[in-house]
Amino acid sequence: MDFSHIVLLVVAGVAAGGVNAVAGGGSLITFPSLIATGLPSVEANVTNSVSVFPGYVSSVFGSRADLAGQGGRVRATLPAAMVGSAAGCALLLLTPARAFEIVVPFLVLGAAGTLAFQERLRGLVGHPRAMSPRRAAVTLQLVVFLGAVYGGYFGAALGVMYVAALALILDEPLKRINAMKNVLSATVGLVTLVVFAAFARVEWGAVAVLAPATVVGGYVGARLARRLPQRVLKHLIVTFGTAIGLVLFYRAFLG
């Protein structure tokens, strides 16, 4: 890497760490940046997944106050997140990516739409308070597992998807849901780091530049998210999720 590549990755890492903490989708900043340095797409995807993990951890630290009282929920969902992300990593390493690339834009746009029309959808599926404890627990495990499979495979906009789905099944303020999302994203990130470090080709020089930058951005972004009014935070997540979905759609069908 030359100096311009290093500068590009530092800027991209800080921006991505902040975006992941506030809304999710920072990989749509770092992944193209890695491509711009000359890495092949699969190697860039793997390197990106490893690089953004420290930023997820710093996001958890920055939003820890909103995790108060959610310890039981976190512990209950960690196994589903770990198994799902391992399955997603296996899909990436063992299967062609084209089919999933076609599906991804619609998943991201659907997640943004789900959050945007959250109250109307609650009227159709029922408010979280109306769910039986068993139904709520099973639905939560399924959402965490499916999100983790996606996160292990590609991961861009994982946070948007998690926030949108969790907001339908958890009777919590969006800030606390966002904190829960940070924990789940960090868990998925840890599994992808271990799997890809062991079985995939990682460009460690790029990781050494990106990872510290995502830590800075993740911590600052998480602190910012805690101070934003709930309506503003929701609009940011919906707007960024929609933009990510359109970018992915362009790349899959028009790029």
9 pLDDT higher than 80:
yes
The 10s digit of each residue's pLDDT in 125-136 is 677 777 888 888
The 10s digit of each residue's pLDDT in 213-252 is 998 988 888 888 777 787 887 888 888 888 888 988 988 8
Max avg pLDDT among 80-84, 91-95, 157-161: 80-84
Query: Could you give the percent of the chain with pLDDT greater than 90?
Result: 38
Sign of CA dihedral 28, 163, 142, 182: positive
Distances in Å between the Cα of 103 and the Cα atoms of 29, 100, 110, 168, 244 are: 20, 5, 11, 22, 13
The 10s digit of each residue's pLDDT in 58-74 is 889 889 999 999 999 99
Which of 68-72, 92-96, 196-200 is least confident? 92-96
Domain range for 12: 3-254
> For residues 121 and 40, which has the higher predicted lDDT (pLDDT)?
40
End-to-end CA separation in angstroms for the chain: 26
Q: What's the pLDDT band for 79 if we cut at 50, 70, 90?
A: very high
Number of structural domains in the chain: 1
Contacts of 225 by beta carbon, 8 Å cutoff, 6+ apart: 21, 22, 62, 63, 175, 178, 233
Q: What's the pLDDT band for 124 if we cut at 50, 70, 90?
A: low
Chain length of the chain: 255
Q: What is the mean pLDDT of residues 174-184?
A: 92
Within 10 angstroms of residue 236's Cβ, the number of other Cβ atoms is: 16
Distances in Å between the Cα of 255 and the Cα atoms of 122, 157, 240, 251 are: 36, 19, 20, 4
Two tokens at 246? 């359109």
* Amino acid at site 142: L
- Report helix, strand and coil shares of the chain as percent, to nearest 5: 85, 0, 15
Distances in Å between the Cα of 36 and the Cα atoms of 4, 9, 183, 189, 224 are: 11, 10, 30, 23, 29
Residue of 7, 26, 6 whose CA lies nearest to 221: 26
Within 10 angstroms of residue 230's Cβ, the number of other Cβ atoms is: 11
Q: How high does pLDDT run on average in the chain?
A: 87
Q: What is the mean pLDDT of residues 26-43?
A: 86
